[in-house]
Amino acid sequence: MATELTERENEAAPVMEVRNVEKHFDPSSNVIEKLRARLSPDSRSKIRAVDGVDLTLEKEQVQGVIGESGCGKSTLLLTLIGEHLPSEGELLYKGNPVSEFSKADWKQFRREVQIIFQDPFNAINPHFTVRQTLKEPLRIHNIDQTEERIREVLEQVQLRPAEQYIDRHESELSGGEKQRVAIARALIVDPEVILADEPVSMLDVSTQASVLELLEDLTTEYGASMMYVSHDLSTVSYVCDRVNVMYLGRLVEKAPTKEIINNPKHPYTQALIRAIPIPDPHFEREWTQIKGAVGDAQDLPTGCRFKDRCPERMDICDERPLLRPVDGDGGHEAACHLYYDHEDVVAASATDGHAGVDAE
Amino acid sequence: MADSLLEVTNLDVTYRTKRDSVQAVSNASFSIESNGYFGLVGESGCGKSTLARAVMNSLDTNGEISGGEIRYRGDPIHNLSDREYKNSVRWDEIAFIPQSAMNSLDPLTTVQNQALEIAQAHKDWSNEKTLEKLRELFDIVGLPQSRIADYPHQFSGGMKQRAIIALSLLLDPSLVIADEPTTALDVIMQDQLLKYLDELRQERDFSLLMITHDIAVVFELCDSIAVMHGGQIAETGGITDVFDEPRHPYSILLQRAFPDVRFPDRSLEQIEGTPPPLSGSVDYCTFADRCPWAEPDCRDGAPPLEPVGGDASHLTSCIRSDEMEELAASHLEGRSTGESSVQSIQGSEQ
Amino acid sequence: MLASVQTGITRLRDHYLFQNLRKGLRLYFSDRITVMMAIGFMFILLLGVFGPMIAPYDPGTRHADEDGQLIRMSPPTADHPLGTTEGGKDVLSRLLYGTRPTIITGLMGGFTIVGLGLLIGVSAGYFGGTTDSILMRITDFAYGIPIIPTAILVIALLGMGFWSTIFIIGALLWRGNARVFRSQVLQIKEREHVRAARISGASSVYIIARHILPNIAGMIVLFFALGTGLTIIISASLAFLGFLNPFTPSWGIMIRNAYGSGVPLDAWWWTLPPGLAISFTVLIIIMLGRGYERVHNTDVNQIG
């Protein structure tokens, strides 16, 4: 379908790019508080769910974002799909800024970027049959609602034979089957990007494996890119080429999956990996040394947000660490003062005349 | 087992609905020693929560123990009335932490007041004594003592979970049953909690029955395990026995379905199908339809729990258990005997 | 021609809506109480339709005996099974004739109450923001308006009549269900299947029609039933207080007239029948609504 957006497509550009995106939420719930917030903007009162994130998703790449609850990963995903508009920063799709999208551009974006949610139990309208669930996106995007397309996509998600499933209602499907229908609903419009928000965390373990396999195949067979968000590094590592680690709204480390697991640099990533239970009674894993809980998203400290829990804390950590490459050139970056000299870097960019080095 | 703390023998639990009856637990047997940590593992709907509630005498009104026995310190507790149970067992001897326990704290009462209520209901301690104990327990679970006067909403999720554990230990029970205690927690918080549970074992003489779907947590923390499927105990025994020599197809496959972060490239086992609906009496192996090694005999009568080899503490309910080592050889190979490909995981082999 | 009609019918029969309807009805009538109530309701409807035809007399006729004396306040006799009124009119006939206006008023009131409640509640819940604030403030305001004084005002302005009654009742009583609908919509809006449709770019109309409304259908029917029952009772109250047209023989008017005779307790054959008729009708309607709600919840709660 040749549309304006496709014509303006930059072949070499990454499929999706996020530049210094921030997303703030206003925690006030009533008119008076809202008014007060508008009159005296005090940045402390906002919830900075996503606070300066840079990401680049290439074609046919699978990237993961991991982090614990409250880190902002779900908000990030919803910003990528256009449900939230970024408070600051830019989202680019195929090289074009989303803020400059025309209505037609949005229509195309909504078709080409699809999302799979975490909860399979509310993912399907209980009044719809599988057929109706799958027809809906076709209808919304004005694609031919042929029976054949529906059958085909059901086969693709391993719901075989398709006839057996096509007339079923939500109550007649198991959790894994429901999630597959949700995936089919995303696939049926031939997306370019699939965003997945913890798609297997509510499934039984015996089903998780097959859904993960399915997701893995999606990118290789259908040439789609995927952004996979989760709190569970074990499943993320199964599907993703690269992993981004998020903490309280910021990315603290980015690397290829193997690197993150074998060679984590940021103390938070290290703590995260060391805290994963190993299904082996012979292996004596050490319990975590980290104390406390993830901080409050509203009352954030200046500088590194992990500093209050970090075993390697230094004085310089009161300055916000920059995301910088660490050893090797395998695309491994970490935002930690352990790996670079903050003052040197700041001085260097100042003399370079580069504006916009964020230090707090 | 003469000095088992809790012994469950041939337990059947049935739910009666208007139309038919569902046998949620069939012929379950296992035992928990004093000071032992026991993990009951299974997927959703396998009956593990029902089993826990049966032990706690808190089944729903349409549920009943239709067979077998539960003995606590040798005395039967499965046929006690609610009153008898409350007076002699609940909270005092056996404490229960339900799923999503964080939501079971009364939001309108401070933690210390809830502790006082519990103590007043079961013992006649002075208020001072109760609060002293509570402070001690907060210390043990890693919460600041000053916070006993806080309301539940002032705690984070992980802290609430620990507050509940502190409350459950208040009356020095010998057995704590925890239903999915770590499921709602993030991985670092979960680890903090597991660390405290581990340390608790050294500080006090008590046993834990942990019910969970996460077999990794059980392998790390517990000394015995039972794997459940479709209301039946598939396999039970010491943790290393069941890990090194699993003999039930379900426990073999289930272990392989869990990702191991040391081997991120290993393919995960997929188990076909879903557990069967359990109406009427269960006189077949509930795993048969999903089992790659099932035979017609498997559907002909419920398989009894039998010892593996000569070991009376390692039991499995598979009629082909002696063949499993050969049949499932390909699934059993590559078991971790040692090195992990991942240097960052701190740990050591034993 | 016949063949195409036949295929049309078969296709209709296989259509999912029809199948759902069949399944739904079967489930609905699986409860014995609901069946009894449905039978009762059928009976009332029949009375409404055929009442005037089976009534022995015209409701306005004053009956006189052989001596030419009006048969006033007569207890039940063979000629007049429910006795006569003070004006010599046959009570049974008035009762039967009164079914129709009572039920029609009830249904129209129910419609208005639920219709307005849905409109306001769903809009507030779905669109949120300022729309929500404004609509909810209007609702709060509506709560403060008392029915009887408003009734007086409206009747003073618009005169007595069927539409005035509907206006009074409908324009105020939607306030109860608007809030409930709104909170349901708020909840349903966040379900993944709705979000998926919204993110995909479906229009609000589509989402409301296909995702939101079907999932509150049970509540809609229940509130419709409650609204109808409430309307009947309130219009009877208004009639009793003298705000309605005294010449339409609705049940409420009958009670009023009986009361007006000065001896309502003595003339039990005149007072009781319309009172009982109102009570039973309202009970039946509400039970029917509850029956649907029960079904709706069972159906949806069959999630594995």
Q: What is the pLDDT of residue A359?
A: 42
Confidence of residue A41 (pLDDT cuts 50, 70, 90): low
Confidence of residue B162 (pLDDT cuts 50, 70, 90): confident
Q: Which of B216, B270, B345 sits opposite A279 (nearest CB)?
A: B216
Q: Euclidean distance between the first and final Cα of chain C, in Å?
A: 46
- For the ranges A181-185, B60-64, C244-248, the lowest mean pLDDT is seen at C244-248
Judged by CB atoms closer than 8 Å, whether chains meet at A279 and B270 is answered as: no
Give C209: exposed, middle or buried? Use CB within 10 Å, 0-12, 13-18, 19+: exposed
Judged by CB atoms closer than 8 Å, whether chains meet at A126 and C303 is answered as: yes
Residue B152 lies in a domain: no
- Asked if pLDDT for residue A207 goes beyond 90, the answer is no
* Assembly ipTM: 0.85
Q: Which of A115, A175, A182 sits opposite C199 (nearest CB)?
A: A115
CA–CA separation, A343 vs A319, rounded Å? 10
Q: Which of A317-331, B44-58, C84-98 has the highest mean pLDDT?
A: B44-58
- For the ranges A243-247, A277-281, A292-296, B150-154, the lowest mean pLDDT is seen at A292-296
Judged by CB atoms closer than 8 Å, whether chains meet at A278 and B345 is answered as: yes
- Asked if pLDDT for residue B112 goes beyond 50, the answer is yes
- Residues of A within 8 A of C191 (CB-CB) are 122
CA–CA separation, C98 vs C100, rounded Å? 6
Q: What is the pLDDT of residue C300?
A: 46
Q: What is the pLDDT of residue A360?
A: 36
- Asked if pLDDT for residue A84 goes beyond 60, the answer is yes
Burial readout C291-303 (b: 16 or more C-beta within 10 A, e: otherwise): bbbbbbeebbeee
Residue A192 CB partners (closer than 8 Å, separation 6+): A15, A112, A113, A224, A225
Quote the domain boundaries for residue B310: 1-93+173-334
Q: What is the mean pLDDT of residues C271-286?
A: 88
CA–CA separation, C144 vs C150, rounded Å? 11
Task: Give strand pairing partners of C70.
Answer: C64
Q: What is the CA radius of gyration of chain B?
A: 21
Please check whether residue C210 touches A, CB under 8 A: yes
Task: Give strand pairing partners of B207.
Answer: B175
Q: Where are the alpha helices (DSSP H) in chain C?
A: 2-14, 16-28, 32-54, 91-127, 129-144, 147-158, 162-173, 175-189, 192-200, 204-207, 213-215, 217-241, 251-260, 268-300
Q: What is the mean pLDDT of residues C64-81?
A: 79
Which chains have at least 3 CB atom pairs separated by less than 8 Å from chain C? Answer: A
Q: What is the mean pLDDT of residues B294-302?
A: 89
- Asked if pLDDT for residue B118 goes beyond 70, the answer is yes
- Asked if pLDDT for residue B158 goes beyond 80, the answer is no
Q: What is the mean pLDDT of residues A138-149?
A: 88
Taking the CB of residue B207, how many other CB atoms lie within 10 A of it? 23
Judged by CB atoms closer than 8 Å, whether chains meet at C193 and A124 is answered as: yes
Judged by CB atoms closer than 8 Å, whether chains meet at B350 and A273 is answered as: no
- pLDDT tens-digit map of C178-196: 999 999 999 999 899 999 9
Query: Can you give the pTM of this predicted structure?
Result: 0.83
CA–CA separation, B23 vs B46, rounded Å? 11
Q: What is the mean pLDDT of residues C257-286?
A: 85
Residue B138 lies in a domain: no
Chain B residue closest to A271 (CA)?
B188
Q: What is the pLDDT of residue B335?
A: 59
Give the long-range contacts of residues C22-28, CB within 8 A, separation 24 or more: C24/C295, C24/C299, C27/C295, C27/C298, C27/C299, C28/C291, C28/C292, C28/C295
Return the number of CB contacts < 8 Å for A and C.
67
- Asked if pLDDT for residue B342 goes beyond 60, the answer is no
Q: What is the pLDDT of residue A42?
A: 60
Judged by CB atoms closer than 8 Å, whether chains meet at A279 and B258 is answered as: yes
Q: What is the mean pLDDT of residues C54-68?
A: 80
DSSP state of B108: T
**Structural tokens at position A259:** 């690197």
Q: What is the mean pLDDT of residues B294-323?
A: 88
Q: What is the mean pLDDT of residues C142-157?
A: 84
8 A C-beta contact, residue C109 and residue C230: yes
Confidence of residue C13 (pLDDT cuts 50, 70, 90): low
The CATH number of the domain holding residue B321 is 3.40.50.300
Is the domain defined by A4-352 classed in CATH 3.40.50.300? yes
Q: Which of B254, B264, B347 sits opposite A237 (nearest CB)?
A: B264
Q: What is the pLDDT of residue C11?
A: 64
Q: What is the mean pLDDT of residues B76-89?
A: 84
Q: Which residue, C294, C100, B221, B123, is CA-closest to A279?
A: B221
Determine what percent of chain C is predicted with pLDDT higher than 70: 91
Higher-pLDDT residue of B57, A355: B57
- Asked if pLDDT for residue B38 goes beyond 90, the answer is yes
Domain count, chain B: 1
Q: What is the mean pLDDT of residues B254-273?
A: 86
- Residues of A within 8 A of B269 (CB-CB) are 206, 209
Dump strand ranges (E) for chain B: 4-16, 21-33, 37-41, 63-72, 75-76, 94-97, 175-179, 207-212, 224-229, 232-238, 306-308, 311-316, 347-349
Q: Which CATH number fits domain C101-300: 2.60.120.40, 1.10.3720.10, 3.10.129.10, 2.60.40.10?
A: 1.10.3720.10
Confidence of residue A136 (pLDDT cuts 50, 70, 90): very high
- Asked if pLDDT for residue A353 goes beyond 60, the answer is no
Higher-pLDDT residue of A225, B330: A225
- For the ranges A65-69, B91-95, B179-183, the lowest mean pLDDT is seen at B91-95
Beta-strand relationship, B224-229 and B37-41? parallel
